[in-house]
Amino acid sequence: MIPRYQRVLFWCLLGCILFMFLFLLRGCEQAREKFANHGDLTPLAAPTPSELANVTLSMANDADVSLTPTSRQIALPEDPGLKARALLENLISLYAQPGSAHPLQSGGAVDDVYLFTPAAASGAQGSRQDSLSQTRGGLTAVINLKGSFADHHPSGVVVETLTVQSMIGTLHATLPEIEQIRFLVDGKPRETLAGHASLLRAYPAVDTANRPPTGDEK
């Protein structure tokens, strides 16, 4: 004869099994109802990777103090701000390569590039007036440089001016909707890049290859 305590234990275990079965069954029903009531079960499309594009970089040469349009094929995102940042990072990376005609330290140079309409850009700069005229409908690009890039940039009128003009010409070639360019360093105004080229003024976005640096950029 089966002892009484074993019969009690058997029925307790059977009750636990039945309870777990009912709990799982209810969970499956709730999950089915949730998916049935979902409006759109279409899978989200995967992010579109950056596509290769032919671009023109304004390459600086310290030896003859020139800026030369150079064609390159690089991956660019669709967003204009991200596109501008990618252009500048590719430009600076070329200057960090051995044998560069405008040698700069390797590493990231640009934190962000912000694009504004003229009215928004003017408000962001406060009441400070600028001699640069703004064409209606154009954009202002604010290049936020990394402090490490500015701190280790070679000092000199020509080399600093070439870097600034190289960035300006590169953005103008691919993003002609940009009409003026300003600079920040670590999100703050900075007087010069490395002691000479001004970072406080607004620069016109032009084809700098046709405007050789004069050295008078302060």
Per-residue pLDDT of the chain (218 residues; tens, 9 = 90+): 677 777 777 778 878 888 787 878 787 777 777 655 554 444 544 445 567 899 999 999 999 999 999 999 999 999 999 999 999 999 999 999 999 999 999 999 999 999 998 665 454 444 333 434 444 458 999 999 999 999 999 999 999 999 999 999 999 999 999 999 999 999 999 999 999 999 999 999 999 886 655 555 55
As for how many domains the chain has, the answer is 1
* 1 domain residue, yes or no: no
Specify the pairing of strand 110-116 against strand 66-76: unpaired
How far is it, in rounded angstroms, from Cα 68 to Cα 212? 10
Q: What is the pTM of this model?
A: 0.69
Q: Is 7 contained in some domain?
A: no
Give a yes or no: residue 8 inside a domain: no
Q: Which long-range contacts (CB under 8 A, 24 or more apart) does 83-86 make?
A: 83/174, 83/175, 84/113, 84/115, 84/141, 84/143, 84/171, 84/175, 84/178, 85/110, 85/112, 85/113, 86/50
* Within-domain flag for 217: no
Largest CA-CA distance found in the chain, in angstroms, rounded: 109
Q: Is residue 24 part of a domain?
A: no
Cα–Cα distance between 100 and 168 in angstroms, integer?
19
13 inside domain: no
Q: Write out the residue range of the structural domain in which residue 111 sits.
A: 51-210
